[in-house]
Amino acid sequence: MTGTPTPPQTTTSATPAAETPKDLVGIGIGPFNLSLAALADTIPGGIEAAFYEQSPGFSWHPGLLIDGATLQVPFLADLVTLAQPASPWSFLSYLRAIDRLYPFYFSERFHIHRTEYDAYCRWVSDSLPTLHFGHQVDAVRWNHERALFEVDFTGLDADGEAEALGRTYTRNIALGIGTAPHVPEPLKTLADIPAVPVIHSSDYLHHREQLLRARHITIIGSGQSGAEIFLDLLRARPAGAEHLHWLTRTAGFAPMEYSKLGLEHFTPDYTHYFHQLPEHTRNDLVPRQWQLHKGIDHDTLAAIHDELYRRTLDGGWPEAVLTPGVNVRTAGRVATTQIELHLEHTQQNTRSRLTTDAVVLATGYRQRPADRLLAGLDAYIRRDSRERPRIDEHHRIVLDPAVGGSVYVQNAQLHTHGVGTPDLGLAAWRSATILNHLTGTTPYPQPSRTAFTTFGLTDQDRHATAPPPHGLVPLVEPA
């Protein structure tokens, strides 16, 4: 929206009063800001906080809550446990509240179902009074006279239509607007074909029945979502008439790096190490570490192979083609009901065409742009050589000293904090870091060490309780 909204004369129970400045306003309510809200709720003495989300209620990837799909992190990676194990908002507290603690105990599960995680988050979101759904944040500015951030929002009705304008003031912001489905440029024309189902994986379950009616289905993308969708479609199609193509740019359908020491890249220790590296080194590292967070779970790969193998027991092979190393160069419509994909094999340097009746784009997500939302702060934001906001060790955007408040970010610092940025396992730690800095105290003491790996020759300096390895003497002072 444009212009300067006028605060409403009255407020409802869903619209927080604007007169008293907040200590913290969160923008967006996904798992990361929900974690922040849950930990903020139990700070001794409390803080004044409000979290705004334009959706009518909490929802976590509803199009991918495929039956049987599990989280790729243990249940301990809930909203709070790794910062406050005794929190009333932990996953175990949720199980106790709904009288399912003993069934979970006997199930001996370490990785819970995705639907269960979604239900847990909705339980927390329904209980916290600081959360305000149906509120679309329109702009953020710094008010020099009041030394506060101004946050303009629009209250939405049940149909998502504007109902009232509002403004609140706050000392700090937590930006958690999440990611948006990404469609690569050569594939964007597919979305303009209404007669043919072409959907992003994030909407899979909403279109599953329509997809199953298609004679031939192509899945593009080899991450976890692409694998789960391929497996679900494979199981739903009759043997000998699967008519599935699964294409990916990567050189293979690669498993995720899940070794114990590999997982230490998702610790606070590695995050600290990565943040201190030079910008050009960080830029080079991130794309090379894709298999740490963009590969496919071993169990999913095994289930796919098992299902394909089972279909060979009566002789013959399933009508399923899995081809890595393929780029989709262009795409177009054939008549009114089919799509033609122009393919290029990167290793063979060959080209071909594929005609299909439906396409699922498992092409991932990108950070949702915040330029419009933060336009009022643009002049104060310090940026790196690629014009990305600089983010400090406290997960704050580096701002001009004229701005006295902090803008913390959630899942927008891959370029400064590394592969653990989108990982649910670091949610509680990051929230605790933010709240410790915001309060100037330590309501959530941080662990002194979280990894057996010492990631750099000088990284042992962080481990105050551990003696440095013998014989390692820095040859030069760190830059």
Q: Is the Cβ–Cβ distance between 350 and 244 less than 8 Å?
A: no
pLDDT at 45: 87
Per-residue pLDDT of 106-132, as tens digits, reads 999 999 999 999 999 999 999 999 999
Read off the tokens for 310.
């089972």
Q: How confident is the model at residue 447 (pLDDT cuts 50, 70, 90)?
A: very high
The answer, yes or no, to whether residue 466 has pLDDT greater than 70, is: no
pLDDT at 2: 36
The rounded distance, in Å, linking the Cα atoms of 10 and 129 is 19
The rounded distance, in Å, linking the Cα atoms of 231 and 251 is 20
- Mean pLDDT, to the nearest integer, of 202-208? 95
Q: What contacts 456, CB < 8 A, 6 or more positions away? A: 273, 276
Is this model's pTM higher than 0.85 or not? Answer: yes
- Mean pLDDT, to the nearest integer, of 275-302? 94
Contacts of range 446-455, beta carbons closer than 8 Å, 24 or more positions apart = 446/268, 447/268, 449/269, 450/264, 450/267, 450/268, 450/269, 451/264, 451/267, 451/269, 451/270, 452/261, 452/264, 453/261, 453/264, 453/269, 453/270, 455/269, 455/270, 455/273, 455/274
Read off the tokens for 204.
């899979």
The answer, yes or no, to whether residue 199 has pLDDT greater than 80, is: yes
Per-residue pLDDT of 62-90, as tens digits, reads 999 999 999 999 999 999 999 999 999 99
Torsion of CA 342, 346, 349, 350, to 10 degrees: -30
Per-residue pLDDT of 454-463, as tens digits, reads 999 876 556 5
- Mean pLDDT, to the nearest integer, of 280-306? 94
